[in-house]
Amino acid sequence: MTDTASQLTATVPDHAAGRRFDAVLAELFPAYSRSRLAAWIKSGDALLDGQQVRPRDPVRGGEAVVLRVVEEVQTHSAPEAIPLEVLFEDEHVIVINKPAGLVVHPGAGNPAGTLVNALLHRDPNLNTLARAGIVHRLDKDTSGVMVVARTLVAHTALIEQLSSRQVHRQYLAVVVGAMVAGGTADFPIDRHPRDRIRMAVREDGREAVTHYRLRERFRAHTLLECRLETGRTHQIRVHMAHVKYPIIGDPMYGGPLKLPRGATPELVEALRGFKRQALHAETLEFAHPVSGEPVRCSAPMPADMQALVAVLREDSRLADEAAR
C-alpha cells in the first residue's frame, strides 16, 4: 500500500484558549472527519507548536498547528479503459452522464467493468478516496448525471450538501397510467421485510420525499419530472409504484406488463422491448465544493427513452384522431 502526504499549517485563534486540541483541529480543518483527525493526532501527524499532544489536551491560543495529511489507498479496484461522457470537470470534481447498464460500484457478480473502474483509469489519484470519490449513486439501469469528487475536500463538501438537501436532483420517468396532476410522495422507505434486495414503503422507514410533476401526458402513460428531496435507495421507483404509477420496464417494482386497449403494434413492441426502468437523471445542480459557484449539468434522455416517448406520443395522436 502506498501513501501520499501533504502538509497544512494553521494558527490556533486566541478565542479558542482552554478548548480541546481535537475540537479546535476540527474547526481549523473542516474538510476532514473528526475520526480521521483524531487518528492523525495519535499518530503524530498533527502537531501543536511542534509537539505531539493528546486529543483532549487544551490549547492556549496562538500556537502553530502542522497537519500532515496522509492519504492512504482506499479503493483497490483495477483501472479499466471504459469510455465516460464528461459533462463538467476541473481539479475538484467530475460530472458524468452515466449510461444505462453501467454498474456504479464493484460487487458480487460485478467485480469489474464498473464506473469505479472507469474513474480510476481516468484519474488514478481517486484511489485515495472512499469509493473512488463517488458521493451518490444511480442504479445500474438508470442513466444520467452523477458528480464525483476528486479531492478529500470536495468529497467532504459534497456529502455535506447532499445530507443537508442542498443538491438539486431532477429525474425524468415514464410511468404507467395517465396522471391528471403532479404531487408529492412523502412515504418513508426501508428494506423490504422479507425480500432484502427490494426496498418498500414502511411506517418505520427513513424519511423519503419525491416531488413530481407532469412533463407530458399520453393516452395511457405519463412522462414525469421528479425532484428528490431525499436520496433513499430506489426512491423514485418505490414511490411511483406505491402511488400506483409504476415506471415502465421496472423489473423489480413495475409489476406485469400492461398494454393499453387498442395499442398500436409499434407501441406493443416498444413496451415489450423496454427491458429497464424508464428513469433518467436529467439535471444535477450543486455549489462547487471550493469556489461555492453554482454548477448545473444536464443530460438529454438517452435514445431508448426518446424512442419510447416518440411511440407513446404517436399512439396518443392516433387515438385523438380516432375519437374525433
Which amino acids are annotated catalytic?
139
Please give the distance of CA 230 from its chain centroid, rounded to a whole number. 11
Closest Cα partner for 84 from 133, 117, 109, 106? 117
Task: Identify whether the C-beta of residue 188 lies closer than 8 Å to the C-beta of residue 242.
Answer: no
Residue at grid coordinates 395522436: 317
Task: Identify whether the C-beta of residue 66 lies closer than 8 Å to the C-beta of residue 7.
Answer: yes
Report the distance separating Cα 202 and Cα 200, nearest Å: 6
CB atoms within 10 A of CB 109: 6
Give the contacts of 58 (CB within 8 A, at least 6 positions apart). Answer: 17, 18, 19, 20, 21
Q: Please tell me whether residue 289 adopts helix, strand or coil conformation.
A: coil
How is residue 225 written as a grid cell? 419530472
Q: Please report which helix (H) or strand (E) contains residue 266, including its range.
A: helix 265-273
Report the distance separating Cα 313 and Cα 153, nearest Å: 46
Q: Please tell me whether residue 181 adopts helix, strand or coil conformation.
A: coil
Report the distance separating Cα 269 and Cα 254, nearest Å: 17
Alpha-carbon separation of residue 11 from 61, 62, 83 (angstroms): 8, 6, 45
CB atoms within 10 A of CB 288: 16
How many CA atoms are closer than 13 Å to the CA of 279, on its beta-carbon side? 29
